[in-house]
Structure 1
Amino acid sequence: MTIQIPRISHGYVDVAGVRVFYRETGPEDGIPLLLLHGVPTASHQFSRLMDALGSRYRLIAPDYPGFGHTETPDDFVYSFDRLADVMEGFVTAKGLDRFVMYLFDFGGPIGLRLATRHPEWIAGLIVQNANAYEEGLSGLALDTIAAPADALDGMFTLPVTRSQYESGTTRPELIAPDGWTLDQHFLDLPGRKDAQRALALDYKNNVALYPQWQAWLREHRPPTLIIWGRGDAFFTEPGARAYLRDLPDAELHVFDTGHFALEENLPEIAPLIAEFLERQTRMKVAIIGATGNLGSAVAREAAARGHHVTPLGSNDVDVTDLASITDAVAGHDAVIVSVKGPEQLVPRGARALLEALPVAGVNRLVFLGGGGSLESEPGKRFVDSPDFPAQYLETALDQTEALRIFRGSASPVEWSYASPPPVHLVPGDKTGSYLAEARDTPLTDEAGDSRITTGDYAAAIVDTLETGSFIRERFTAAAVS
C-alpha cells in the first residue's frame, strides 16, 4: 500500500520590513493555489487541506501582518490596502506570476485587491465565505462595520473566537478546539488586538469597493468555484449566489455548516477543489505550428504551466483539411494555431478549423494572427499603409482575411484571435510585465511604443486560454512600463 503524505515546509519572506510567515507544500510544476486566510485565524486554518491536496498540487499559505507568525515593525499601519501591499510583495518575492486564489473571509478583500492590480496573475478563484456583495452582509456584519472603536473589544475574546468556529455548524463535535485556541493565542499577543480593531474600522472601505470588484469579475470572468457555509453569521447565502450575476459559469456548492466550512466539511470540499484545480492546471492542448518560432514558445510556456501539450507540425496535420484536423485534435480541451504559408493557407485554415473543431469535440481555439490588421487610427489598418514592408504583405493580408472569417462565422467554436504589436514582436524571455486587451488598435507604453517579447506574448496566449478571456474577440498584447 502506498500512502502519500505531503511534506509541508515553513519559512519567512521579508517584504518592506514585514517578516511574512508562510506554509508551502506540493510539486513545483502546475499552477499554484494561493491560500488567503480569514479572521481571527491565520495560515494554520489550511493545514488539513494542505495535507489532503499537497501531494498533487502546490499550495502556499501566508500569514498577513497582524496574524499568525508574521512579524511587523512597531510603526506598521493596519488597513486592507496595506495588507494587500504586503501580500503583493510576498507574491512577487515568491516568483508567482500565475496562480489560483482561495479567498476566505478577509482573503476576499485582500485577494480582490490583488486581482484588480494584477489581473494577469489570476488563473482562477475559489471563493469560500468571502463576501463581495451587499446582500451577503448580515445584520450582525452591518452592525460590526458601523460599530465605534470602543465597542469592538468584546470581539477579541475566547468565547467570540470559539463561536465563529461553532456557530451555524451541523455537527459541532467535528470542530477541533485547536483552531480557536491557537487563534486566541495570537490575538492575545502584544499589539494584535489593536491591529484587529484597526482592520474592523477599515472594513467599510471594502464595501465601498464592491462595485469595482464586481466590475472586474464581469470583465475578466475567471474560472470560479464558490463554496459557502449557509450558517455563516456574518456572510449570508445570498452573498454566495450574488456572484452568479457576474460569473454565470461559476460552480456553486452550499453546505449546512458555518463560517469555517473546511472545519466540518473538508471531506466533501477537498475533492471539489481538486477537481477544480485539475481543470485549471491540466488542460490537454494541441498546438498546430508548434515547430515555428511563436508556436514553440507557446508550447514551452503551456508545458511549463503543467498543461499536457501535443505539438503538431505540418507533417502531423494539414490545417486546411477537415479530416486531418479532426483526427489530430480530437480528445483535446483546446487548440492553439500559429501557421503561415502560400496559397492563402491562413484563411483556408481558419475556415477549416471552424468547421472541424466542433466535429472533433473541441470548442476552444486561440488563433495567432498578425498585427498588420490593427489600426493606426480608426479605419486605417497598418497593412493598408504604402510603407508596409513588402516581404510581409502577403502573410499580413492572409491574416487579415482570417480575422474577417472568424468575425463573420456562426461556428460554435469559442475562438480568440491574437494580434501582436504591428512591428515590435521581439525575441526575448518572459518578463511578466505585459497587458492584453480586446481592441483594434495597438497597446502602447508611456513612451508611445508598442512592443512585446516572444516570451511575454506566449504567456499572454496561454493566459487567454486559462482564463477563457476574449471569447469571439480579437485581442492584442504589449509590454507595459
Structure 2
Amino acid sequence: MNTPRVAHRYVDVDGVRVFYRQTGPADAPALLLLHGFPSASHQFRRLMDALGDRYRLIAPDYPGFGLTEAPEDFTYSFDRLADVVEGFVTALGLDRFVMYTFDFGGPVGFRLATRHPEWIAGLIVQNANLYEEGLSDLARGMIANRPGVEGAEANVRQILELPVTRGQYEGGTTDVELVAPDGWILDQHFLDLPGRKEAQVDLALDYHSNVARYPEWQQWLRDHRPPTLIVWGRGDAFFPEAGARAYLRDLPEAELHLFDTGHFALEENLPEIAPLIADFVDGLRKDAPMKIAVIGAAGNLAGAVAREAAARGHLITALGRDTMDVTDPASVKDAVAGHDAVVAGIKGPDRLVPRGAQALLEGLPLAGVNRLMFIGGGGSLEYAPGQRYVDSPNFPPEYLETARDQTEALEILRGAETPVEWSYVSPPPMHLVPGEKTGVYRAEAGDTPITDENGESRISVGDYACAIVDALEKGSFVRERFTTAY
C-alpha cells in the first residue's frame, strides 16, 4: 500500500504568505490544483491521497482563502489572485504542469494560461465555467452585483453564511451521505475570520470581469488546443451542464464526463473521477516523437536544431533548395505535409527571407501544419526603447541586408492573421558563438536582448538550438518573438 505523504508549507509571494499542500514524487508529472469558492486547498485532500503516490500534486490557497495570509492593504480582485498564483508557480520553479481548474480556479487559471501558455501541459476542467450558456439564472444574478449597484454588497453577504455554504456542497448531489461535512464547516470557519467576508465581497463584485474575458479565453483554447479532460457535476446550481458541453465547440477532442452530482463533484464522485485523471495524465506522458521539417538544415543554425531534435528522438526531414521553393506556397505545402512542425532557417538574396516567411504562412495551413519556428536575427532587437540594432549607424554593413530581411520577416509574422502558431527566435545581437549544449540558458519573449550581470548577451550555438527544440516541445512562445542568452 503506497500512501502518499502530504507536506504543508508556506512561501512568500510579494508579501503574501501563501499556504500550500504538496505531495508526490519530485520527478513525476505535476498537477496544479486551483480551488474554488468558498473553499481552499483542503478541498483536494482526498484527491491527493488517491493520486499522490503517482503524481506531483500542488494546491495553494488564494489570498482571502484558507490559511494564506495577505497584508491588510491587499486588493482583492481576480487579477491580483492570478498575480499571486503566478508568483507562487514561479517561486516553486514549475515550468510545465497540468492545470486543474474548479470554480474560481477557472478565471484564476485562465489568466495564468494566457500569460504563460508554455506552462500548460493539459487542462482538467471541473465545474469551471467559461461560456455564457454555462451561467444559470442564479449565477447571472450574482454577477450583476458590481461596484456602484445599489444593494450589491448586501446581496453578496447573504451567500457568505453557513446555510448557503453547506448548500453549495449538498445541492445537486445524489447521495448527500457521501458528502463529508468537514468541507463546508471548514469553509465557514475561514469565511468567519476577521476581514474574510470583506475580501469575498470585493471578489464577488469583480466577478463580472471574468465574464468579460470569456471570448479571450475561448480564443486561447482555439489557438492552443491543450489536451483537456472535463469532469462536471450536472446538478451545479451555478454552472449547469451546458457550460461543460460548450467547451467542445473550441476543444472538439476534449474528453467530457458528466456526473449526477453538484458543484463540488469530487465530494461524491472521487472514486470515479480519480481514475479518469490518472488515465488522462498518463496519456500525456506517452508523447510520440514529433515529425519536424527543417528548412535550411544544411546551414549552421538550422542544422544544429535538426541535430538536437534528432538526438531527442524526433523525426527530421531536411529540406533545402533542391527539394522545395520556400517562396512558393504550393511547394511549401507539398514539402511539409504530414509534419507536426516546421523549423525555417532561411538565408539568401532578393528578399528571400521575408518572401519565404509569407509563403510559409500561406503554405502551412494548406498542408495542415500549424506550428512554425522561424530562426530570425538579432538585428531587430532593441538596444534602447524604439532603437533597433539594425538601424544604428555602427551596424556591420556586411550583415545589413540579411538583418533587414529578417526584420521584415518578423513584421510579416506579427502582422498576419493566420492560424499558424509561429514563433520567431532571435539570438543575441552579437555573441552567438560556437559551442556545445549545456542545457542552462534563459529564454524570454520580448524585443530586448537578455544580458548577464556584466551587461553581455551571449549564447552558444548548441544552447541556442536547445532553446528552440525546448520551445517546440513545450509549445511555448506562440505568436511571439523570443530571444535567448545566458
The interval holding the TM-score normalised by the smaller chain is 0.7 to 0.9
Kindly report which structure 2 residues correspond to 1:358-369, keeping only aligned pairs within 5 A, or say none: 365-369=340-344
Structure 2 residue aligned with 1:331: none
Q: Distance in 2 between matches of 1:106 and 1:222?
A: 20
Partner of residue 187, structure 2: 183
Aligned to 2:375: 420
Deviation readout 1:382-425 (Å, 9 max, x if unpaired) = 399xxxxxxxxxxxx9x999x79985986xx8674533225754
**Matching residue of 1:87:** 85
**C-alpha spacing 1:400/1:118, structure 2 compared with 1 (3 Å):** closer
Relative to structure 1, the CA distance from residue 77 to residue 421 in structure 2 (aligned partners, 3 Å threshold; closer, same or farther) is: same
Pick aligned residue for 2:351 from 380, 398, 403:
380
Change (3 A) 1:286 1:365: closer
What is the CA deviation profile of residues 257-291 of structure 1, one whole-angstrom value per residue up to 9, with x for unaligned ones?
100011111111111111111122331437899xx
Matched residue, 1:306: none
Aligned to 1:281: 285
Q: Structure 2 CA distance, aligned partners of 1:265 and 1:83?
A: 28
For 1:69, the aligned partner's letter is L
Match of 2:219 in 1: 215
* Local SS of the residue matching 2:53: coil
Partner of 1:337: 316
Which residue of the partner structure matches residue 415 of structure 2?
A: none
Taking a change above 3 Å as real, the CA distance of residues 171 and 352 of structure 1, as seen in their structure-2 partners, is same
Where does residue 294 of structure 1 map in the other structure? Answer: 305
Residue 472 (structure 2) aligned to one of 461, 472, 478: 461
Check the 8 A contact 2:342/2:373 in 1, yes or no. Answer: yes
Aligned-CA RMSD value: 3.8
Residue 138 (structure 1) aligns with: 136
Alignment of 1:74-113 (within 5 A): 74-113=72-111
Unaligned runs of 5+ in 1: 301-308, 312-334, 358-363, 385-396, 435-443
Aligned equivalent of 1:433, options 424, 428, 444: 444
Q: Which moved more, 1:280-289 or 1:213-222?
A: 280-289
Q: Which amino acid aligns with 1:242?
A: A
1:221 is displaced (CA, Å) by: 1.4
Identity of aligned residues (%): 57
In 1: Cα distance, 2:354 partner to 2:83 partner: 43
Q: How many residues were matched structurally? A: 401
> For 2:228 and 2:240, how far apart are their aligned partners in 1?
19
Deviation at 1:430, TM superposition (A): 3.9
> Which of these residues, 11, 15, 18, is aligned with residue 16 of structure 2?
18
Indicate whether 1:195 and 2:199 are aligned: yes
Q: Return the match for 2:251 from 247, 252, 261.
A: 247
Contact 2:442 2:484 in 1 (8 A): no
CA distance 1:160–1:342, change in 2 (3 Å): closer
Within 2, Cα distance between the matches of 1:158 and 1:400? 61
1:293-321 CA deviation, whole Å, 9 max, x = no partner?
Answer: 43564478xxxxxxxx6x4xxxxxxxxxx
- Tell me the residue number matched to 1:370: 345
* Kept in 2: contact 1:25–1:58 (CA 8 A): yes
TM-score, normalization by structure 2: 0.72
Q: Does 1:151 pair with 2:155?
A: yes
Please give the TM-score of this superposition, normalised by the length of structure 1: 0.73
- 3-state SS of the aligned residue for 2:113? helix
Residues 343, 134 of structure 1: alpha-carbon distance in 2 compared, 3 angstrom cutoff: closer
**8 Å contact kept, 1:27–1:55:** yes
Moved more, 160-169 or 20-29: 20-29
CA distance in 2, matches of 1:408, 1:172: 51
Superposed CA deviations along residues 25-69 of structure 1, whole A, max 9, x for unmatched, are: 112225411110001100111111111111111111110000011
- Match of 2:275? 271
Structure 2 vs 1, CA of residues 61 and 336 (structure 1 numbering), >3 Å: closer, same or farther? farther
CA distance in 2, matches of 1:48, 1:338: 47
- Secondary structure at 2:242's aligned position in 1? helix
2:166, 2:196 → 1: CA distance? 17
Secondary structure of the structure 2 residue equivalent to 1:66:
coil
Q: Is the 8 A contact 1:451 1:479 kept in 2?
A: no
Residues 237 and 139 (structure 1 numbering): CA distance in 2 closer, same or farther, change over 3 Å? same
Is the Cα–Cα contact under 8 Å of residues 24 and 59 in structure 1 kept in the other structure? yes
